[in-house]
């Protein structure tokens, strides 16, 4: 089974890292629970715009922490064909690949997905933290499965419920591994 793993919100705790920089740069303190939708803004700045700015700095990229349990789970899933997928801008690719080599040396396949192209990912399963990406992926093929890695910003009024037979909702990596086991048994 080929499994695509998104980086931000799945492997990398991008939002926590960005919130630390927002506090340092703007003097405004927020928590992950404040980010309740994908297009959340602070002081008129959308968080994804800020993250894009931050990702241009290779030192920042290397400081982004891991999502709890990610390394162990990826080791458990290593018997599958794993593919990293990201919509990070190309100017962050070299640092992103260095970050991946540091924390996930077993992840060799890398797919750059531009916004709105997750249906083109060559895999059977997509693990992502945004419902929009999961819906786009499973809508493209009824045999595909999506795992929504739940965060406060993960659900954004999409029609994801229409794909309930194709989607698993997982709040942490342990439940993701169980979902993969379930998908594997059913396929």
User: Mean pLDDT for each consecutive 10-residue tract of the chain (187 residues)?
Assistant: 97 97 95 93 92 96 98 97 93 96 95 83 96 96 97 95 97 98 89
Burial of 142 (0-12, 13-18, 19+ CB in 10 A): exposed
* Contact (Cβ atoms closer than 8 angstroms) between residue 160 and residue 148: yes
The angle formed by the CA atoms of residues 158, 48 and 82, to the nearest 5 degrees, is: 70
Looking at residue 76, its pLDDT comes to: 96
* Contact (Cβ atoms closer than 8 angstroms) between residue 31 and residue 13: no
Of 67, 129, 79, nearest to 103 by C-alpha is 67
* Contact (Cβ atoms closer than 8 angstroms) between residue 144 and residue 120: no
Looking at residue 117, its pLDDT comes to: 81
DSSP assignment letter at 90? G
Looking at residue 116, its pLDDT comes to: 67
How far is CA 61 from its chain centroid?
15
Of 3, 7, 5, 4, nearest to 88 by C-alpha is 7
Looking at residue 163, its pLDDT comes to: 96
- Report residue 104 as tokens: 């996930």
* Contact (Cβ atoms closer than 8 angstroms) between residue 173 and residue 3: no
- Report residue 101 as tokens: 């080599």
């Amino acid at each position: 089974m080929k499994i695509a793993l998104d980086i931000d919100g799945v492997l990398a705790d991008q939002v926590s890292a960005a919130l630390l920089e927002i506090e340092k740069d703007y003097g405004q303190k927020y928590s992950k629970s404040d980010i309740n939708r994908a297009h959340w803004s602070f002081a008129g700045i959308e968080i994804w715009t800020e993250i894009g700015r931050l990702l241009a700095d290779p030192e920042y990229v290397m400081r982004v922490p891991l999502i709890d349990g990610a390394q162990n789970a990826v080791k458990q899933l290593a018997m599958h064909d794993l593919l990293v997928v990201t919509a990070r801008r190309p100017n962050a690719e070299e640092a992103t690949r260095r970050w991946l080599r540091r924390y996930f040396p077993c992840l060799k396949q890398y797919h750059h997905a531009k916004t709105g192209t997750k249906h083109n990912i060559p895999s059977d399963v997509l693990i992502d933290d945004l419902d929009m990406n999961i819906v786009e992926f499973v809508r493209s093929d009824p045999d595909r499965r999506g795992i929504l890695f739940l965060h406060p910003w993960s659900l954004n009024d999409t029609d994801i419920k229409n794909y309930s037979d194709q989607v698993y909702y997982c709040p942490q990596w342990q439940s993701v591994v169980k979902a993969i086991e379930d998908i594997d048994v059913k396929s």
